[in-house]
Amino acid sequence: MSANADVGFVLQEKVLDAIAQHIPVQIVGRNTKAFYGRTPLGEHLSVAGHCGVVSYEPTELVITARAGSSLAEIEALLAERGQMLPFEPPYFGIHAEDTLGGTIACGFSGPRRPYASSARDVVLGVKILTGKGEILRFGGQVMKNVAGFDVSRLMVGALGTLGILLEISLKVLPKAEPEKTQVFSCDAQEAIRRMNVWAGQSLPLSAVMFVDGQLYVRLSGSHVGLVEARKKLGGETMAGSDSLWASARDHKHGFFRDDMPLWRISAPPAAPPIDLPGSWLIEWGGAQRWLKTPMAGDALREVVAAAKGHATLFRGGDRQGEVFHPLSPALMALHQRLKAEFDPHGILNRGRMYANW
């Protein structure tokens, strides 16, 4: 039996107390993503107890759950009905204890992201607790909804700085059909070229990764579809590839087992290999690239920006510095104004995203 409890009003009281006492709070679920973002100020406010599936309608392709719900339990429930979260969320907890709320607040997506959806793409509605202590609902439980500003998706990746996620409604999809992984040996340049050529064709791609001179391509489709696609692609079919994709998704792959600072580089997918020293793992058809390097952030970001990308210090390094790519002055000012409209007292995850707010 899964845990199920609505403690929204208890959390609301705590936020109102924090406002009254001018004490910032750090929003914490199961604490599996503490490594991500800047080190925030304030006392822990646990939302893990606010959990449980509120509703699940398989034929409507929608699930609504409280933020503290276990992601693994949600995925297991969906799997019982032959469905899945299309964005293939990562599990960064040692025992996969990640919550739904933390995943959405960070906006994390896994290997299927460029071929299916991102975390933000599937968010249909939210219930949030703002920094004013108000419980508000935006969006809904239907696929198409343009009533009011899209505050629901604004929350995805906002790291809780605009509001505490209480409930989230997500679009789900039928579970991927049988999957096969083809492997090729090539260099990074050739891998990026092939990833993008394939993405421009009618092929059932569901993940692509390049690491250690090997290009891995996952296909999801019906039996005949897979036979056809493998004929077109060539390469060797890999046995037991599920663990490969899970290890890449959850950063348990050998590449990620390292104390070196880990950078996440978001680049135009077809951008040629970026000339920066370090070891690389390229995912998402070239759109997400991981780099392990001791290099300084400013110099690294200059090179990445020249390739029309942006860089996040994902793990390790200086967590008091600029972890996220700096914004233009105009965008930074707008961010601060938005923050002030949701959290006028600056109490929610202060400093987690950018310094000073």
Partner 1 sequence: MLSPDKQALLTALRCILPADAVLCETEDLRPYECDGLSAYRELPMVVCLPHTIEQVQAILRVCYKMQVPVVARGAGTGLSGGALPLKNGVLLSLAKFMRILEIDAANRIARVQPGVRNLAISQAAAPYGLYYAPDPSSQIACTIGGNVTENSGGVHCLKYGLTVHNVLGLKVLTIDGELLEIGGSTLDSPGYDLLALMTGSEGLLGVIVEVTVKLLSKPERAQVVLAAFDDVVKAAAAVGDIISAGIIPGGLEMMDNPAIRAAEAFVHAGYPVDAAAILLCELDGANEEVSEQILRVRELLQAAGATQVRTARDDAERLKFWAGRKAAFPAVGRLSPDYYCMDGTIPRKRLPEVLKRIAELSAEYQLPVANVFHAGDGNLHPLILYDANKPGELERTEEFGGKILELCIAVGGTITGEHGVGVEKIGQMCVQFAPQELAQFHAVKHAFDPQGLLNPGKAVPTLHRCAEFGAMHVHKGVLSFPELERF
Residues 5-44 that bind partner 1 (CB under 8 A): none
Question: Going residue by residue from 247 to 276, which x/- string records binding to partner 1, judged by CB under 8 A?
Answer: -------------------xxxxxx-----
The window from 16-24, 55-63, 93-101, 237-245 that contacts partner 1 (CB under 8 A) reads 55-63
Give the nearest distance from C-beta 97 to partner 1 in angstroms: 25
Residue type, 156: V
Distance CA 152, CA 170 (A): 11
CA torsion sign for 88, 72, 349, 12 is: positive
Instruction: Say how far residue 153 (Cα) sits from the centre of its chain.
Output: 13
Contact 28, 352 (CB under 8 A): no
Give the nearest distance from C-beta 95 to partner 1 in angstroms: 28
According to the binding rule CB under 8 A, does residue 158 interact with partner 1? yes
What residues between 159 and 178 interact with partner 1 by CB under 8 A? Answer: 162, 173-175, 177
What residues between 66 and 95 interact with partner 1 by CB under 8 A? Answer: 82
The window from 30-38, 97-105, 155-163, 207-215 that contacts partner 1 (CB under 8 A) reads 155-163
Distance CA 169, CA 202 (A): 31
According to the binding rule CB under 8 A, does residue 325 interact with partner 1? yes
Residue closer to partner 1 (CB basis): 42 or 157: 157
The window from 34-42, 197-205, 243-251, 274-282 that contacts partner 1 (CB under 8 A) reads 197-205
According to the binding rule CB under 8 A, does residue 180 interact with partner 1? no
- Phi/psi-derived region of residue 240, left when phi > 0, alpha when psi is between -120 and 50, beta in every other case: left
How far, CA to CA in Å, does 3 sit from each of 45, 51, 74, 95, 126? 19, 6, 11, 17, 20
Q: Compute how many residues bind partner 1; rule: CB under 8 A.
A: 84
Residue closer to partner 1 (CB basis): 11 or 48: 11
Nearest Cα to Cα of residue 88 among 115, 63, 64: 115
Distance CA 71, CA 90 (A): 10
Give the nearest distance from C-beta 176 to partner 1 in angstroms: 10
What residues between 108 and 137 interact with partner 1 by CB under 8 A? Answer: 113-114, 117-118, 120-121, 130, 134, 136-137
DSSP tag of 356: T
